[in-house]
Amino acid sequence: MVSKQDIEAAIRADPVRAEEALLALQFGDQAPVTLEAAKPVAQLHGMSVEGVLALQLENRQLLEAYALALAARGIACGPVLEPEAAPEDQRIQNPGALERIGKAACRIVRGDHISGSGCLIGPSLVLTAWHVIASGAPDTVDPVREKISVILADGFRYSVSDVQRYLSPCTSEEFASHFPANDAAFADRHDVALLKLRRPEGMRFKFLRVPDAPPPLRRRAGLFVLDFPDGHARGWGMGHVTPINGIQARVQHDSDSDGGSSGAACLNTHYELIGIHQGRWPPARRLVPLARFHEPLVTQVRADIAPSFLWSLTDDLRGPLVIGRDLFFEGLAEASRPGARVRGLRVLRMNPSAGTTGLSFSATLLKTMLDRDRSRHVLIRIGFDQAQQDLLGAIRQKALDAGLQLPAEDVPFGMRAGDTTPEAAVGDQARRLALALDQAIQASGPDRLLWVFFENPAAGLIDSERMAFEAFVSAALKQPALRLVIAGFETISTPGGDEFSDAEAATGAGAPGLVIEYVGHFSRQEVKTLIQRADEALGLALGDTGVDFILNAALAGIPSQNDHVDLAHSVEVAARLTERLVDWRNTQEAGR
């Protein structure tokens, strides 16, 4: 409902149009009530003119009618809140959905202390309040200077690689626990920070999607605050929104909150993002409406494109399941980007004597992913089942077999056998081959890439193979359209290039190189992520109970250490998962 304070603020903001609205409500032969006519009464009673008029309107039950008359003249009373919310918008609709969405909520750590709450809104983006990550006041030198990290739903702490993705400070008055007097003070001061995680951890949790348009804020509409009071998980806050007189940049709400709640996502009863909780100023709390920062937020979210992660090689329960390997997919996605420093991956075994399970499966993963866009990718596979007396010749022939058009070999004078050292001759041949392959793949179409997969040699490399392998890898890394995936070869460092711990480590200028992925075990969380991805893809409606049931059944009796399982058990665990997921699906279909 419209309050007297709303009306007073509207009259004070625009007296001319306020009087026009006042005259529009008056009929009959009596002299009209005007702002000028109200002055003597105001002076007599020690009131403001707008206070007298608001009281008169309230006595005549005309507050709502006058608010509509003001709105018709472009004057809003309080924030842009529509008429009171319908009953269904004031109460929780689907508790189960709120539980799932709540997994996007997180805690923000500034330095070594939890400073507030936040929410995943993309694969690698976390939304929070600016003052949660700030160590100093706005307009001071380097106010955001401490290390920022995030505690996600699994309780683990994750690195933030970029705190400057989007920043809009709070007002200086708010930082000093005072509230500005008018909307002008809030210009470009939204108290919002968008953080970028080092890796797209949001793909393992439910991240909250930002709506295409800010949902309307209705008076008395219900809201949920996904917060961590005092840094603890105590369930989500519930309350209702109400306007602040004469202010549109902030909205009042009455959900319970405490220190550590700042920056939390605020949702309506349809679980749509409507803003972020800013803080508690007795007797109420307030939020920053999404409408204030929606456009820059959407711009960043649309650019936060997640890699494609497989849970099954065939996207159903008939094919082999994929446990873990997210770093493989992240590296592959970054390497597929034109101009990227990441030129492929190295898959290394934690224990080189433990077999080739993870290495051989890497070839299948790579082919499955590249086959999804054959117009862009060409894959050749180089094995060492038999000694490669001419490794560079074998690479050349595989490329020809794949349809690339290569010029005839022309060994320059001085580089023929006997003209120079074997190392120099092989190095020159490798450079010419890499250049020819790069030119051929680029000539075959825009943004096309040639991928060379090197299988781990069971018996190691002979000297000539090693020399040619190192020379080719070094030369290929320098070519913009060539990509490498090297499985095994643990005794050889990446020749001629950098090694990256993840895709984010390759941002900025520098030499090209390969993302390093270690295989040897998988975690309980990775098995759980697979189940959740299968649930989402197949529409199984497992819920948390179903996910945990299948997870426990799949890992029952399997030896583990610190929730990590040796890769040798992956086939058995995958078979159990498939069986349980099929049973659940069949039961679900039988009940329809």
Using the structure block, give the residue that is written with the tokens 């001629």: 496
pLDDT tens figures, 246-288: 788 999 998 888 888 999 999 998 899 999 999 876 667 899 9
563 backbone φψ class: left, alpha, beta (φ>0; ψ -120 to 50):
left
What local confidence, expressed as pLDDT, does residue 91 receive?
Answer: 47
- Under the banding of pLDDT at 50, 70 and 90, the label for residue 95 is low
The yes-or-no verdict on residue 549 having pLDDT over 60 is yes
Return the ∠ at Cα 270 (arms to 214 and 533), rounded to 5°.
100
Distance CA 72, CA 83 (A): 15
Q: Which residues contact 240 (CB under 8 A, 6 or more apart)?
A: 90, 220, 221, 222, 223, 253, 254
Element (DSSP H or E) covering residue 247: strand 247-253
**pLDDT tens-place string over residues 194-245:** 999 988 888 887 789 999 999 988 888 889 999 999 999 888 888 889 888 7
Start-to-end CA distance of the chain, whole Å, equals 46
> CA geometry: angle at 562 spanning 556 and 567, to 5°?
65
CA distance 464 to 487: 19
Averaged pLDDT for residues 335-351 = 92
Asked if domains 91-303 and 325-413+420-519 share a fold, the reply is: no
Q: With contact defined as beta carbons under 8 Å apart, do 335 and 483 qualify?
A: yes
**Separate counts of helices (H) and strands (E) for the chain:** 17, 22
**Count of other CB atoms within 10 angstroms of residue 156:** 10
pLDDT at 87 over 70: no
Q: Are 299 and 266 in contact (CB under 8 A)?
A: no
Q: Rounded to two decimals, what is the model's pTM?
A: 0.72
Query: What mean pLDDT do residues 395-417 have?
Result: 84
CA distance 195 to 148: 9
- Give the bridge partners for 226, in sequence order: 265
Distances (CA, A) of 481 to 128, 302, 347, 575: 39, 26, 21, 38
CATH node for 325-413+420-519? 3.40.50
Distance of alpha carbon 13 from alpha carbon 472, whole angstroms: 73
Q: What is the C-alpha to C-alpha distance for residues 145 and 127, in angstroms, rounded to an integer?
A: 18
Q: Which tokens belong to 442?
A: 């680029």
As a whole number, mean pLDDT of residues 420-437 equals 90
Calpha distance 264→287 (Å, rounded): 9
Q: Where are the domains of the chain?
A: 4-72, 91-303, 325-413+420-519, 522-591
CATH number of 91-303: 2.40.10.120
Which two tokens mark 50? 């707008």
CB 527 within 8 A of CB 540: no
Question: Phi/psi zone of residue 224: left (φ > 0), alpha (ψ -120 to 50 degrees), beta?
Answer: beta
Confidence of residue 90 (pLDDT cuts 50, 70, 90): very low
Return the higher-pLDDT residue of 96 and 103.
103
Q: Which helix (H) or strand (E) holds 464?
A: helix 463-476
Measuring CA to CA, how many Å separate 44 from each of 4, 38, 40, 41?
Answer: 20, 10, 6, 5
Contact 72, 21 (CB under 8 A): yes
On the question of pLDDT at 88 being above 80, the answer is: no
Write the CA distances from 470 to 358, 414, 480, 490, integer angstroms.
23, 21, 18, 13
Tokens of 108: 């923000």
Average per-residue pLDDT in the chain?
A: 87
